[in-house]
Amino acid sequence: KPRFVISASEAESQSISKLLPSLVSSAQSLARPSISNFPVAAVRLGTSGRIFMGVNMEFPGLPFHHTIHAEQFLLTNMANNVETRLDSFAVSVAPCGHCPQFLQELRDAPDIQILITSHKNPHFSPLSHFLSHHFGPHDLFPKTVPLLLEPRHNALSLPQNDHFNALAIAGWRPPITLTTRVTQ
């Protein structure tokens, strides 16, 4: 079974400068590039001490813009595991045009450090190197607005003692009726 999170105790065993590039290389085997045959992986050491991975996933029969990029997968993996900050990560190839703009949705995005493991002399470069004329939430909202990965409360709640709420909690689902249409 593929693992996209490595525990903090397992991550402590090596230096980050050696660990992340080696994990990027092995994580590429988890990618599903069924259209391009170009596996991409991104790896990040979280503030919790755990290591998170993301890979690209392509879906035959769907337009290529439905691809999940490794950086998007990485952020989703982090969000699902309550990791609230991205300050650096390693990736197997330079980010495409879409990914730096996607990363702009994070707090302090221009300062995120990216290590491209396929370069001859890999070194960390800031996101601003890849997206020098950025536009994002910082241009639109006050600094108090929660951004991607940050905790938020949307003030949504279910009504108490509501019949449908009780049915949903109990796992009830409406019956599905299938009809067959005959055409001549």
Closest CA to 105 of 71, 156, 81: 71
Q: Are strands 51-55 and 88-91 parallel, antiparallel or unpaired?
A: unpaired
The token pair at 165 is 């709420």
Q: What are the catalytic residues?
A: 71
Closest CA to 54 of 35, 67, 37: 67
Q: At residue 166, what are phi and psi to the nearest 5 degrees?
A: -60, -40
Q: Is 114 helix (H, G, I), strand (E, B) or coil?
A: strand
